[in-house]
Amino acid sequence: MELAVLGSGSRGNAFAVRARGVSMLLDAGFGPQTLTKRAERVGIDLGALVGVVLTHEHGDHARGAGRIARAAGCPVYASAGTLAALADRLGDVPRHRIEPLRPLSIGPFSLTGCHTSHDAAEPMAFVVSTTGGKLGLAYDLGRPTTAVRYLLRDVTTLLLEANHDEIMLRTGNYPPAVRERIAGAGGHLSNRAAAELVAELIHEGLELVVLVHLSDRCNRSDLARSEVERALAGRRFRGKVLVALQDEPLPPITVAREPSQFELALTG
Ligand SMILES: [Zn+2]
Ligand SMILES: [Zn+2]
């Protein structure tokens, strides 16, 4: 399975996964033109989508969903609450409900979701797997819950929110109500909270952590990366940490499969 980080941040989020010649979009938080242009740059044909999967209805995740799905002739997949919140915007696009912790097959992909703590109708985090790898996506979450930890326990590639630096948020120029929302249980994960969660989730198969949904006002990529790398230092993590960009796709990433016990024994 291949992953394309098409862009991530407070102003829009979208990822594509590709396997056996077809692709699936995870969130569509840019307009159709931007999405199409970025997908083309990383060799993904949005006309060959098997589905558009949405974490929740906020514009920075769902803005282009209806138009992209309609153009591709594929369904939108989301929780019942998210689909209800988007009913007007999706119009006649076919849709499928995602039930928590119940795996769903979409083309060559298996998708499992769980609820997250965020101020939206029924937001979810996801794991996508194929025979070739397992990817987790968790962002827009105020707190990591037991369900999220369970869902992400054995992914080989982890896309995790590192929204804000706690000091920059506290000293920045947001009105107090906004600041409290961001830091609250229905808000966003700080660099520190992301670092703690990554440290908890380390296992031998975890090869890549991509930090996503960085705030452009209360974070910097060097701060997010160093906070997470500090939490990983001295642990058994042999993988890489990348930071997603808001305005540019990252070069395509191969999502590794879980190494076998035999391979683990060989590498010590
Ligand atoms: Zn968001
Ligand atoms: Zn949101």
Helix axes 221-232, 191-201, angle to 10 degrees: 30
Residue 46, in any domain of the structure: yes
Separation of CA 140 and ligand 2 centre (Å)? 5
pLDDT at residue 248 greater than cutoff 90: yes
Q: Which ligand is nearest to the CA of 186?
A: 2
Q: Between residues 133 and 29, which one has the greater pLDDT?
A: 29
Separation of CA 121 and ligand 2 centre (Å)? 10
Residue 76, in any domain of the structure: yes
Could you tell me the residue range of the domain that residue 89 belongs to? 2-257
Residue 108, in any domain of the structure: yes
**Residue 235 pLDDT level (bands cut at 50, 70, 90):** confident
The pLDDT assigned to 131 comes to: 86
Separation of CA 245 and ligand 2 centre (Å)? 18
What are phi and psi for residue 135, nearest 5 degrees? -120, 140
The secondary structure of 62-124 as a DSSP string is HTTHHHHHHHHT--EEE-HHHHHHTHHHHTT--EEEPPBT--EEETTEEEEEEE--SSSSS-E
Helix axes 32-41, 65-72, angle to 10 degrees: 60
The pLDDT assigned to 264 comes to: 61
Classify 3 as helix, strand or coil: strand
Separation of CA 120 and ligand 2 centre (Å)? 6
Mean of the per-residue pLDDT values for the chain?
Answer: 94
The pLDDT assigned to 113 comes to: 98
Residue 253, in any domain of the structure: yes
Q: Which ligand is nearest to the CA of 57?
A: 2
Residue 267, in any domain of the structure: no
Number of domains, the chain: 1
CB atoms within 5 A of ion ligand 2 belong to 58, 140
Q: Which ligand is nearest to the CA of 29?
A: 1
Q: Which ligand is nearest to the CA of 10?
A: 1
Separation of CA 139 and ligand 2 centre (Å)? 8
The pLDDT assigned to 234 comes to: 79
The pLDDT assigned to 259 comes to: 63
Separation of CA 28 and ligand 2 centre (Å)? 13
CATH of the domain at 139: 3.60.15.10
Q: Which ligand is nearest to the CA of 118?
A: 2
Residue 123, in any domain of the structure: yes
Q: How far apart are CA 142 and CA 175, in angstroms?
A: 18
Separation of CA 120 and ligand 1 centre (Å)? 10
Residue 112, in any domain of the structure: yes
Residue 264, in any domain of the structure: no
Average pLDDT over residues 4-16: 97
Per-residue pLDDT tens over the stretch 150-202: 999 999 999 999 999 999 999 988 899 999 999 999 999 999 999 999 999 99
Separation of CA 62 and ligand 1 centre (Å)? 9
Q: Which ligand is nearest to the CA of 60?
A: 1
